[in-house]
Structure 1
Amino acid sequence: MAEHIVCITAAGGIPLLTRTKPGCQPLSFPVVGSLNGVHMFGLNRDVKLISTLSADHRIVWKIYEDSIVLIAVAPNEDKFLGHCAQKSSNSGVELESNARNSSSTVTDAHLLRLLDNIFHALVLLTGLSELTTIQNVDRLKKDLRACHQLVDTFLDPDLPGAQEKGLKLFGGLTHSVDIVIKEDAKLLHEHLQAFVEAADSTYGCLVVNGKVVCATNKWWMLTGQELALLGRLISIAPTSVTSSDVAVYLPHSSPNIPHRLLIFTLVTGVGNNSSGGVRACVLCGPQPSLAHVQNAYVERFWGPGTNTLQKCARSENIPTQLKSSLPSALLGFLLIDADAHRCLSHISPQIGTDTSDHLKRRKQKGDRQKIDSSWIYFRLCEFYKHVVGTSFPLPDSVEDSPLPQDDLSPHAGLAHYRCMTSHKCFALWRPPYQIFALYKPEAPTFALQNLTESTLDAVCKDGALLAL
C-alpha cells in the first residue's frame, strides 16, 4: 500500500525511523524535512493537516500522544499489475491484462489505519512510555531498530520479485488474526492447553505458516489489533532458531509493562513455506525461563503429536472436504469474523483446469496476465480496500478518535460486486461475517451472490471459525 513510512518527533521534527518498500528510492533528508515542515506550518496556524495529493502520490500525517508524527507516502495508482507482468512463472491461468483492471484503492482511511498499525507495532516492541516521554533521541533510534522488520511487513513485502516469499497475511489490513481450519485442530488444542498450563500461563497459541490453528480462551480475549500484531511478529521469527524469548508490550492491554513472548519452532517450513513452519507460542511473565520450558515441556507435550504437526504444516488453510464443496469458479476468498477478530483466507489458482471458450479467446490476445497465488492475494486486498470504508464500514478498533469513512453512505450496503475483464468480485456482509470472493471472469454475474452465500455457509457450517 505505502512506499515510505517516516517517524519523527512532534516537538523538533527529528527523524526516528524511515522505512522504504524494496525497489523504491529512499526519501532524501530534504524531502523528509519538507514533509515535516508543511505539517508544522499548519499546526502553527491551528490547521490540522491530515492528507494531501501530489501528481502521483498521496501523503498522510498523524500525531500520536502529542509526541511522534507518522507519515505515509503511497502511490495514487495500484501498481501491482506492472509487477505481475514482469513475474516469470511456468504455472497459472493466463488472462488478458488491461489497464482498466487497475483502480486506485489508496484512501485516507486505509492509510491512517496503516499508520495506526505501525504505531502500535512500535509500542509492541518498545513500550508506550518510551514513545511518549522521549528523553534521549539517539537511544530511542537505537531501540526502534528492533521494529524495522515488523514495520517492513506492512510495506507490501509480498510483491513479486521480493527476495523472500511472503505468507500472504490479511490480519494487518482487517484488524484481525489470520487463522486456518485443520481437521486435527481439537487434538492440537488439547496439546496446547496442557503445554501452556505447564508453562504457568493462560495465553498461548499454535501457529502454522503465520496463521493460528488453535489458541487458549485468554488468547482470544486480546484485541483484534493485538492478535494481528502478535501474529505478524510470530510469522517473521526465523525458523532456523529453535526457540526465542521476545519482550512485548500489548498496545491496549499492557502498553507500559512488558510480557514475554516465548516462541518454539516445532516443525520448520519447507518448500514454498520456508518462511513459515509450525510454532507453539506462550505469553507469560518473568517465569519460567526459556531454557526450562524448552527442556522440560516441549518434547513432553509436543513429541507425541509430531506426525500430526507435520501433517498440519503440509496441509492447506481449509480441509480437503471443505475445499471440494466450494464453487469451481472460485479463485479465492477472504472471510472475516468481526466479533471474534479472526479472518480466514483461501487462494486457489486452479492451474490448468479451465478450458472454456471464453478463456481461450482471452489467451489468444497479445497482452496476458498470469493468475497465480500472489495475483489473487493482491486482488483480494484491492477489493477489500475498495469496499471497506465506502460500502462497508471500517472494522472497529481501540482508537482515541474515529477514522474517516471515505465516501461512506449513511446506509451501509449489504453486498457489493465488480466485474473486470480478468476477474469478478463479490462482497457480502452478513453480521458478524464479511466475505470477499474472487471469481473467474466466466462466472455468471447473476449467480455471484448465490455462489458467495454458498461459500459462506459451507465455511461457517457447525461454527468452524469459533471452534479453534
Structure 2
Amino acid sequence: MGDEGPGSPVHLLCLAASSGVPLFCRSSSGGAPSRQQLPFSVIGSLNGVHMFGQNLDVQLNSARTEDTTVVWKNFHDSITLIVLSSEEGTSELRLERMLHMVFGAMVLIVGLEELTNIRNVERLKKELRASYCLIDSFLGNSELIGDLTQCVDCVIPPEGSAMQETLSGFAEATGTAFVSLLVSGRVVAATEGWWRLGMPEAVLLPWLVGSLPPQAARDYPVYLPHGSPTVPHRLLTLKLLRGLELCLLCGPRPPLGQLDPQLLERWWQPLLEPLRACLPLGPRALPEGFPLHSDILGLLLLHLELRRCLFTVEPSKDKEPSPEQRRRLLRNFYTLVATNHFPPEPGPAEKQEDTVYPAQTPRACYLVLGPGMGWGNISVSLFIRSQ
C-alpha cells in the first residue's frame, strides 16, 4: 500500500458502447482536476481491445502495465466506462467501485433512459456536463469515503436526539418523508424515509450536495439510480448555516417558495447553538471532547448492515503522517480488507487482488468484529496509530 505520487494522473473515459464515440473524458493529477486529455488514438485503442474481446466472448475487466492500472466496465450494453490510474498502490476494487459511482452519477443527473437509448449523441454530451463536478470529485482526493465503502458518510452530532426530533417534525410540516441534515456532504441526521433510500443514491445525494457551489436554496431535478431511474424527483436544499444544509427529496410538492425563512426559523432557531457546533464536524466527524486514544491518528468505522460509515483523520493533527497520507493509508487498508476478507457481493464476483502493497510507514491497523453472527453484523474499525 504505497503512497500515491503527488502528480499521478487518473483518466476517466466514457464512450457510447455501440459506436465508440467518446461522450466525455475527465482527468485528475495529484488529486486535483486536470485539463490533460488522452490522445484520440489511445482512446480508440482502449475501446477497441475491449470490443475485440467481446466479439470473441472474452470479457476484459482489467489490465496492468508497469505503472498503470486500467479497468473497463460496460453498463446496459450502452455505455462503456474506462479508467486509467497511475497512482501507486491503486487497486482494481477501488477503480471498479469508482466506475459504478460514476455511472450512478450519470443516471442521477440525466436518467437511465437517456443513457440506454441514445438518440442524439451531441445532446447527451451537453446534458452530461451537469454531472462533471460530481464525477470529478470521485477522481480527486475527497475527504469522504462512501465512494469506496458504498456506505453513507455520517457524523456524530452533539444533541443528536434533539436534532432528530426537530428534523422529524420539520419533515411532517413540509409533507415529505425524505429529509436529511448535511454538513460538508456528511449526514448529521435523517428521517427513516431517507435512510431507506437504496444504493447508490443514498451515497450520491449527499455527495452531490457537497460538490455543488454554495447557494441559499436549490430546486434540483434528480433521478434515483436504484429507486426511480426513469422518473425524476426534486432535490430541495436549504442553507441553515454556511456548510450546513437541509435536503428534501420530494415530488411536485412542496414548492420551494413554501419553505420560507419563517418556517425554517420556527423549527431551527431553538437549535442554533447545536447547529453551530456541527460545523467543525465536516472534516472531524466526531464532536469536540469525544474520548479517543491519543495515539489514534485516523478512524474508519463501518456498519455494514445499515450501510453507514464514519471517517476521520483529524485526531492529533500535529503528528505525522499528514491528513492526506492518513486518508490514503486508510483507503488502501480498507481495500485490502474488503478484497481479501469480505464476502463477495451479489452479482459478478470481484477479482481478488494478486499484489499487496506494503505501507512505506509501518502502522497498526485492527479489524474489530461485532458481537452478532455473520458478516452482516460486523463493524470494521481501521485505526492508524502513531509510533
Alignment TM-score > 0.5, same fold: yes
Alignment equivalent of 1:18, drawn from 25, 28, 46: 25
1:399-410 equivalences under 5 Å are 401-407=347-353
Contact 1:332–1:348 (8 Å) recurs in 2: yes
Alignment equivalent of 2:207, drawn from 209, 232, 250: 232
Q: Provide, for residues 197-242 of structure 1, a one-character-per-residue CA deviation record: whole Å limited to 9, x for no partner.
A: 2221000100112211110001111124221111101111222x10
Determine the structure 1 residue equivalent to 2:366. 426
Alignment equivalent of 1:62, drawn from 53, 73, 84: 73
Residue 183 of structure 1: CA displacement? Answer: 2.0
What letter is aligned with 2:313?
I
Residue 342 of structure 1: CA displacement? Answer: 0.3
Alignment equivalent of 1:106, drawn from 63, 67, 91: 91
Contact 2:158–2:274 (8 Å) recurs in 1: no
Contact 2:303–2:309 (8 Å) recurs in 1: yes
Contact 2:199–2:226 (8 Å) recurs in 1: no
CA distance in 2, matches of 1:63, 1:351: 42
Determine the structure 2 residue equivalent to 1:357. none
Equivalent residue of 2:352, what SS? coil
1:154 and 2:121 correspond: no
Contact 2:12–2:26 (8 Å) recurs in 1: yes
- In terms of Rg, which structure is larger? 1
Unmatched segments (≥5 aa) in structure 2: 371-376
**Stretch moving more, 286-295 or 335-344:** 286-295
State how many pairs are aligned.
366
1:129 and 2:113 correspond: yes
Equivalent residue of 1:256, what SS? strand
Residue 24 of structure 1: CA displacement? Answer: 7.2
Equivalent residue of 1:25, what SS? coil
Instruction: Tell me the percent identity.
Output: 38
1:29 and 2:14 correspond: no
Residue 300 of structure 1: CA displacement? Answer: 2.5
Q: 1:419 to 1:126 in 2, by over 3 A?
A: closer
Unmatched segments (≥5 aa) in structure 1: 79-103, 159-165, 269-276, 354-369, 409-415, 443-468
What letter is aligned with 2:255?
S
Contact 2:317–2:323 (8 Å) recurs in 1: no
1:289 and 2:219 correspond: no
Q: In angstroms, what is the RMSD of aligned CA positions?
A: 2.2
CA distance in 2, matches of 1:37, 1:55: 21
Alignment equivalent of 2:172, drawn from 188, 192, 197: 197
Q: Provide, for residues 155-189 of structure 1, a one-character-per-residue CA deviation record: whole Å limited to 9, x for no partner.
A: 02x3xxxxxxx5x1011111011101112111111
Determine the structure 1 residue equivalent to 2:374. none
Q: 1:7 to 1:403 in 2, by over 3 A?
A: farther
CA distance in 1, matches of 2:95, 2:280: 35
Q: 1:426 to 1:63 in 2, by over 3 A?
A: same
CA distance in 2, matches of 1:420, 1:74: 20
Contact 2:163–2:189 (8 Å) recurs in 1: yes
Q: Please give the TM-score of this superposition, normalised by the length of structure 2.
A: 0.88
1:18-417 equivalences under 5 Å are 18-21=25-28, 22-23=33-34, 25-75=36-86, 77-78=87-88, 104-107=89-92, 109-156=93-140, 158=141, 168-239=143-214, 241-268=215-242, 277-295=243-261, 297-315=263-281, 316-321=284-289, 323-324=290-291, 326-352=292-318, 370-393=320-343, 396=345, 401-407=347-353
Q: Please give the TM-score of this superposition, normalised by the length of structure 1.
A: 0.74
What letter is aligned with 2:335?
K
CA distance in 2, matches of 1:59, 1:152: 18
